[in-house]
Amino acid sequence: MPEESVLPVETKEISIIPPEHEQIIKEIAKEPSPNKNERYLYRFGPAIVFLLNTGLRGGELLALGQSSIVPFLGRHGIKITHTLSRVKNREADSKKRTKTILPPPKYPNSL
C-alpha cells in the first residue's frame, strides 16, 4: 500500500454525533405539529430518528419497501437488499440530467 502522503486525496476523518446532540435531534424530530392535519412538525422527523437508531445510510432507508420487513426471531426485522442512488444520466436521447438507480449495497456486510 502506498503511504497516505503520496495519495492525491487525503482520507477524511469521520465525525460522529455526540450522544447528547443525538438526543436533542431526536426530540426536535419528534415534535408534534401545531396543525391538526399533520402528526409531526417535521415531515421526515420519524425517518431521522429511524436512521439514528439503526445506523442505516440514507440511500438504504430510501430503498426500503414492504418486502424489506421480514420476520426475525419472533419479531420483525429489516433486510437491506438495495440502496437508492442518484447518478448522471448518460443516455443520449434523455432530457433528464440525472436518474435514480437501485444497486445492491456497497459492502457485502450491509446485506
pLDDT value for 109: 72
**In the predicted structure, residue 110 carries a pLDDT above the cut 70:** no
pLDDT value for 12: 75
Q: Mean pLDDT throughout 21-47?
A: 92
CB of 92 closer than 8 Å to CB of 101 = no
pLDDT value for 111: 66
Tell me: the pLDDT tens digits for 52-96?
999 888 999 999 999 999 998 999 999 989 999 999 998 888 888
Q: What angle do CA 83, 86, 92 make, to 5 degrees?
A: 130
Nearest to 82 by CA among 66, 55, 53, 61: 61
Q: Mean pLDDT throughout 87-110?
A: 85
Give the type of residue at 73.
L
Q: Mean pLDDT throughout 28-33?
A: 94
CB of 103 closer than 8 Å to CB of 83 = yes
**In the predicted structure, residue 37 carries a pLDDT above the cut 90:** no
Task: Return the beta strands (E) in the chain as ranges.
Answer: 69-72, 75-78, 85-88, 98-101
pLDDT value for 2: 72
Nearest to 27 by CA among 56, 48, 43: 48
Q: What is the model's pTM?
A: 0.72
Residue 67 is classified by DSSP as G
Place of cell 417535521: 42
